[in-house]
Amino acid sequence: MKKRLSHYDSAGRVSMVDVGAKKISKRTATARAFVSMSPAVIEALPENPKGDPLEVARIAAIGAAKKTSDLIPLCHQLPLSHVGVEFRIENAGIEIITTASTAAQTGVEMEALTAASVAALTIYDMTKALDKSIEIQSIHLLEKTGGKSGTYRRKTAQE
C-alpha cells in the first residue's frame, strides 16, 4: 500500500486532518534536542545574570508545548495532561529531553518536538553573550505511544 501525506486532500490542497471519528486514547511522545557549547559556557551557567538558563528553558518549553497549535498551522489544539522537561549536562553541551502526554484523538509528537526546540532556543538566548558559536543540534522524536499506529521508538546507534 502506498503511503500519502496526511495534510493534503484528494485534490492536492492543504487540509487539516479530520480526527473526529478517531477514538480518544492515551498518547505520549518524547523528543530530544542537543545544545552544543564550550565547557566554559557550561561552567558559567550557575552565574548567569539573567537567571538559571535551564529553569527558564523548562518554563519556556512547557509554555511552547501548550502553544503548539498556534505555531504549527495544521496541528490540532490538544488538552495536555503533562509536559516534562529534563536536562543532562554533558562535556560537549546540554541534552534536552521533553515528554508530552494527552488523552485525545491525535498524537502529541509536535508538542514534544516544539518543547525541545524552544528549550534549546531559550538556552541559546540566555547564553549567547558568552559565546555566539553555540549550536542547536539533533532535534528529533525519540518515542511515541498510543493511537492507531501504536508505539514508535527511534533506533539507537547500538541497535
Is pLDDT above 80 for 158? Answer: no
Under CATH, what is the fold of the domain 25-146? Alpha-Beta Plaits (3.30.70)
Radius of gyration of the chain from its Cα atoms, rounded to whole angstroms: 18
Is pLDDT above 50 for 1? Answer: no
Q: Where are the domains of the chain?
A: 25-146
Residue 39, SS3?
Answer: helix
Which residues belong to the active site? 125
% helix, strand, coil for the chain, step of 5 = 30, 30, 40
Asked whether 112 and 54 are in contact (CB, 8 A), the reply is no
More confident residue, 87 or 10: 87
Write the DSSP symbol of residue 38: -
For every residue of 133-146, DSSP letters joined together read T-EEEEEEEEEEE-
Is pTM beyond 0.95? Reply is no
pLDDT by residue (tens digit) across 8-38? 666 667 767 767 677 888 999 999 999 999 9
